[in-house]
Structure 1
Amino acid sequence: MAATRRRGAELDAAIFDAVLTELRDVGFADLTVEGVARRAGTSKAVLYRRWSTKLEMVITALANTRLADITPPDTGTLAGDLRGTIHELLDRLAAQGREVALGIMAGAASEPNPAAMTVLRTKAEDLSGVIIRRARDRGEIGAGPVPATAATLAFDLVRYRFLMEGSLSAEAIDDVVETAAVPLIRVHASGAQAPGPKGSSAG
């Protein structure tokens, strides 16, 4: 009897599970589309119809599994919510292994891949949107629009520093949040003129 062909969410789940298993067993550098296809019981053609590169496939798998259920903690402050969310993200990535996390981030930095970066950017915008809305509700910041570039600055800087330094201390995360991200969000939310490119708004 022929196996039932899997489609949609069922096939995606099998592929994501295969990606995570391959990451654990061989690491990001040695992971191949062929290996994932074999483990998922599908073909390379099926994977390439969904994702154009290994990096895009891996980032999508992580975004839909390990990082899917992250909810920013409600600490009572904008800085605290950003800080807690960053720690949670780094902990989730660390669970995959430091070399895996570094490999993924190095790939994202060196390989032009708009689709993969869109997955990362969308996740950061979703998280920052929750955080900024909470800060508004508390009366902690004003009602002015916060461009996505400003809203996600903390996540972008953390990704860059993790790639350059290999790890981030609690003090380094505090520095990103307190001296860069929070002041910029406050300026935009207050309606004051802030330097930098315009973009879509979060929150």
Structure 2
Amino acid sequence: MTRADSGAPADPGPATTRRRGGELEAAIFDAVFAQLEAVGYPGLTMEGVAAAARTGKAALYRRWRSKNELISDALKHVLPEPPTPPETGSVREDMIQILRCLRDTLIACRGAAFRVLKEDSEEGVGLVHDVVRDRLSKPVRDLLYEALREAAARGEIRPETATRQIANVGPAVIVYRNLTEGGPIADDDLASIVDEVLMPIVRP
């Protein structure tokens, strides 16, 4: 007797397993980052994400009208709330902690945030850029700037070095390394960026 003759339900198989709510959303967002790693922003399609998440394309379009909306929500899902000022009393330690937040965020989104921004395409501007700027880039730069200002007030660094331009240097080094080399950025690497690049710029 066959399975159909016996009245037993057919095995739906992994490709048609029904998932809903948070489980399905997590699978979709994971597929977004996997696709960004594999094919980049230009090659990412709603169809490709649906296939990687083992769901139907209709499930995506019911919630997201475009891939920009989908990528934006995926980034919001993994990007933490803006970090709080460390206020360690040491500008070196403040900068290391702030850059560590940036590093950990890059790990959480597999570097997708900056790979999307790197794409030289008008299609990639707008929602995605706004999310990365508001949740990651601007808060980190603002914290570094405030850390420099407080250090200048304490007499720990030269007052003229407490500028937004210098505050941008550390994140720029990390983003450049992420885009060109990839791979993990260890705590020792962060300390090296602060000790060999930033501190010589600001030290009295």
CA–CA separation in structure 2 for the residues paired with 1:104 and 1:37: 25
CA–CA separation in structure 2 for the residues paired with 1:24 and 1:121: 22
Q: What's the offset of the Cα at 1:59?
A: 8.3
**Aligned CA-pair RMSD:** 3.8
Equivalent position of 1:24 in the other structure: 30
1:61 aligns with 2:67: no
State whether residues 73 and 84 of structure 1, in contact with CA within 8 Å, keep that contact through their aligned partners in structure 2: yes
Give the direction of change, closer, same or farther, for the CA distance of 1:143–1:101 in structure 2 (3 Å limit): same
Q: Which residue of 88, 92, 96 maps to 2:101?
A: 88
State whether residues 78 and 140 of structure 1, in contact with CA within 8 Å, keep that contact through their aligned partners in structure 2: yes
CA–CA separation in structure 2 for the residues paired with 1:132 and 1:142: 9
Equivalent position of 2:116 in the other structure: 107
1:170 aligns with 2:191: no
1:152 aligns with 2:165: no
Equivalent residue letter for 2:195: E
CA–CA separation in structure 2 for the residues paired with 1:39 and 1:169: 36
TM score, norm. by length of structure 2: 0.58
SS in 2 for 1:68: coil
Deviations along 1:34-91, one digit per CA (max 9) or x if unpaired, are 879955954517x86xx7xx66x268626xx733241132222111111111222322
Q: Percent identity?
A: 19
Equivalent residue letter for 1:176: I
For structure 2, the 5+ residue unaligned runs are 1-23, 37-43, 51-56
Equivalent residue letter for 1:122: K
State whether residues 20 and 61 of structure 1, in contact with CA within 8 Å, keep that contact through their aligned partners in structure 2: no
Comparing 139-148 and 27-36, the one that deviates more: 27-36
CA–CA separation in structure 1 for the residues paired with 2:144 and 2:117: 20
Equivalent residue letter for 2:188: E
CA–CA separation in structure 2 for the residues paired with 1:37 and 1:79: 50
State whether residues 141 and 167 of structure 2, in contact with CA within 8 Å, keep that contact through their aligned partners in structure 1: yes
Q: What's the offset of the Cα at 1:180?
A: 1.2
Deviations along 1:98-126, one digit per CA (max 9) or x if unpaired, are xx423333232233556527545423322
Larger radius of gyration: 2
Equivalent position of 1:44 in the other structure: 65
State whether residues 99 and 171 of structure 2, in contact with CA within 8 Å, keep that contact through their aligned partners in structure 1: yes
For structure 1, the 5+ residue unaligned runs are 1-17, 191-203
Equivalent residue letter for 1:61: K
State whether residues 141 and 168 of structure 2, in contact with CA within 8 Å, keep that contact through their aligned partners in structure 1: yes
Q: What's the offset of the Cα at 1:176?
A: 1.1
